[in-house]
Amino acid sequence: METISENKAFGGVQGVYSHQSHTTRCEMTFGLFLPEEARDGPVPVLWYLSGLTCTHENAMVKAGAQAWAAEQGIAVVFPDTSPRGEGVADDDAYDLGQGAGFYVNATQKPWAPHFRMWDYIAEDLPSMLQEEFPLDMSRQAITGHSMGGHGALTLAMSLPGRFRSVSAFAPICNPTGADWGRKQLQAYLGDDTGQWAAQDASLLIRERGFDGPILVDQGADDQFIDLLRPETLVAASAESRQEMTHRMQKGYDHSYFFVSTFMEDHVAFHAEALYAD
């Protein structure tokens, strides 16, 4: 692991680091905010997964999470959204390829050699973080925006016991039923739609659910709302009687102005679960 930068922030440290990932087979970059309490011992961890076209930097700079995380004594991890670099497959479209990993393990050419973002988030990066930083990996929570909200929800429901709480800002709720999803799932996973279901939050919440609290905020004026399909997630949670708070926020769009407005609520929501015992 190499340190790219470390800056004092809200009494803690906002760092940016790189490392060679054995899952994505390339160099990966991530951000990590450590609150002041980390000087004295391991602290709880909140994962933030970013959306399409983003890197580790977008949320780290724009979401305003550090101030609220410092108040709660929580670390925040900002992973990248895809593998990058020379030799890594890409596409001219913004919603496929580098910057658009969709947090899946690709099985199809040319994506399969590097696009293994599920394993990177679920196994590779957590293992390295636990070795290098004072993090309490028994107390983890996860959140994300848009494509990252999709990733947060699917990872939380597919890794029982890993995360104490999950939240999302304007998540892609039903990728198997929307243009933001069918294109990418077919490209990464192939034509067998049976393989797509494990990457669809609306299907997972009906079939598996999540043993903990869920919070979702959606901007009512989101320009991508028809692609996000929040109504499918609400309907599925009602049918399965899943505990979930879904808030439609009048006047808000899909931007980081929306995310930063409600970040305090989300950090407080996760802090309650992370410090429950």
Query: Beta partners for 142?
Result: 47, 166
Residue type, 248: M
- Residues in contact with 226: Cβ distance below 8 Å, sequence separation at least 6, in sequence order: 178
Helix (H) or strand (E) holding 8: strand 2-9
Among 80, 124, 222, 270, the one annotated catalytic: 222
pTM of the predicted structure, to 2 decimals = 0.98
Instruction: Report the pLDDT value the prediction gives residue 145, as an integer from 0 to 100.
Output: 98
Query: What is 2-274's CATH number, 3.40.50.2000, 2.60.40.730, 3.40.190.10, 3.40.50.1820?
Result: 3.40.50.1820
Among 150, 254, 266, 270, the one annotated catalytic: 254
Span 92-131, pLDDT tens digits: 999 999 999 999 999 999 999 999 999 999 999 999 999 9
158 assigned to active site: no
SS3 for 111-171, per residue?
CCCCCEHHHHHHHHHHHHHHHHCCEEEEEEEEEEECHHHHHHHHHHHHCCCCCCCEEEECC
Question: Which residues of the chain register pLDDT less than 50?
Answer: none
Instruction: Report the pLDDT value the prediction gives residue 74, as an integer from 0 to 100.
Output: 98
Among 146, 165, 167, 202, the one annotated catalytic: 146
Are 18 and 32 in contact by the 8 Å Cβ rule? The answer is no
Distance from C-alpha of 169 to C-alpha of 217, rounded to nearest angstrom? 5
Boundaries of every domain in the chain: 2-274
Distance from C-alpha of 191 to C-alpha of 108, rounded to nearest angstrom? 10
Instruction: Report the pLDDT value the prediction gives residue 277, as an integer from 0 to 100.
Output: 83
237 assigned to active site: no
Distance from C-alpha of 116 to C-alpha of 247, rounded to nearest angstrom? 32
Taking phi over 0 as left and psi of -120 to 50 as alpha, with beta for the rest, 246 belongs to beta
Distance from C-alpha of 220 to C-alpha of 51, rounded to nearest angstrom? 18
Instruction: Report the pLDDT value the prediction gives residue 227, as an integer from 0 to 100.
Output: 96
253 assigned to active site: no
